[in-house]
Amino acid sequence: MRDIMHLVGVYTKTTARSWFQYRVDALLRSLAVFLRESTGVIVIYFTLLKFDNLNGWNIHELLFLYSLLFLTYGIMIIFFTGLRDFGRMVRSGNFDRFILRPRGLLFQLIFANADWFAAVGHGGLGLVLFVISAGKVGVIWNFKTVVYYLFAIMGGVLIQGAVFLFLATLNIYLFETSSLKELFYYNMRKFAGYPISIFHRAVQIIIIYIMPFAFVNYFPAQYLLRKEDMEGYPQIFLYLTPVVGVGMYLLAYLFWKFSIKYYKSSGN
């Protein structure tokens, strides 16, 4: 275990140094991600200045909802960048280098690279939104709520990591999965920026039971905020984010273990 933790530290230190080798460029690129992702939040802000609330959610509550989405993605992308880019590695043949190394394939993919620009941009925005909103949404921050919040963050990271792992594994069978990633991850993630109660029932079913982004931020936010639109969903959903995260990741991992046996190199 000590050897593994040392290796994780070496991987993390090496990738961080490579990403931040040119500090001004790194700062500007991280800022660019921050500003790009801020545009959607700014649109919502100015919209609610006119309409006051969105199905009972005021501006600070929506910012709190967004903060969970950005924080979990910022943490997730530190560990799962290799899975995000796995299709490119398979097509180029670079994945073969990992097979020759005396470490687990998934371990190498998770720790051998990290998109620090996306992590800083998304995570920084999530932190800013949390600071702005956390004291204005009526949450009493005590030991219980803090522990719940930390477990919700962990569950949200695992849910998104599991989606990345599942989509990465499909590259073993399919030549190109970018469209699937765009459809099932990035497009579904856009719905999670809003209270799911405003969407058609079919959309709600998808983001609760198929691509469960509702457990990344909506239900954790509901546990802390207790908005009226939660009445349409089982109360048990408020507590399931860590369970859904662990369960999804285990299923995705089993799919990976089964599928990697059928990997065939693309050659050179």
* HEC per residue, the chain: CHHHHHHHHHHHHHHHHHHCCCHHHHHHHHHHHHHHHHHHHHHHHHHHHHHCCECCECHHHHHHHHHHHHHHHHHHHHHHHHHHCHHHHHHHCCHHHHHCCCCCHHHHHHHCCCCHHHHHHHHHHHHHHHHHHHHHCCCCCCHHHHHHHHHHHHHHHHHHHHHHHHHHHHHHCCCCCHHHHHHHHHHHHHHCCCCHHHCCHHHHHHHHHHCCHHHCCHHHHHHHHCCHHHHHCCHHHHHCHHHHHHHHHHHHHHHHHHHHHHCCCCCC
Q: pTM of this prediction?
A: 0.89
Residue 187 burial (C-beta neighbours within 10 Å; 0-12, 13-18, 19+): exposed
Which ranges of the chain have pLDDT less than 70? 1-20, 22, 266-268
- CA–CA gap between residue 172 and residue 136 (Å, rounded): 47
- CA–CA gap between residue 153 and residue 147 (Å, rounded): 10
Look at residue 256 in the predicted model and tell me its pLDDT. 94
- CA–CA gap between residue 82 and residue 109 (Å, rounded): 5
Look at residue 266 in the predicted model and tell me its pLDDT. 66
> The tokens of 195 are what?
């209270």
Look at residue 117 in the predicted model and tell me its pLDDT. 83
Look at residue 179 in the predicted model and tell me its pLDDT. 84
Look at residue 205 in the predicted model and tell me its pLDDT. 94
Task: Judge contact between 116 and 17, C-beta under 8 A.
Answer: no
Task: Judge contact between 243 and 235, C-beta under 8 A.
Answer: no
- CA–CA gap between residue 71 and residue 153 (Å, rounded): 8
Residue 173: which of 259, 240, 250, 79 has the closest Cα?
259
Look at residue 10 in the predicted model and tell me its pLDDT. 60
Look at residue 268 in the predicted model and tell me its pLDDT. 53
Look at residue 217 in the predicted model and tell me its pLDDT. 94
The torsion angles phi and psi of 151, rounded to 5 degrees, stand at -70, -35
- CA–CA gap between residue 201 and residue 94 (Å, rounded): 43
Look at residue 50 in the predicted model and tell me its pLDDT. 74
Look at residue 51 in the predicted model and tell me its pLDDT. 76
Look at residue 107 in the predicted model and tell me its pLDDT. 83
Q: What is the CA radius of gyration of the chain?
A: 19
Look at residue 215 in the predicted model and tell me its pLDDT. 97
Look at residue 254 in the predicted model and tell me its pLDDT. 96
Name the amino acid, one letter, at 184: F
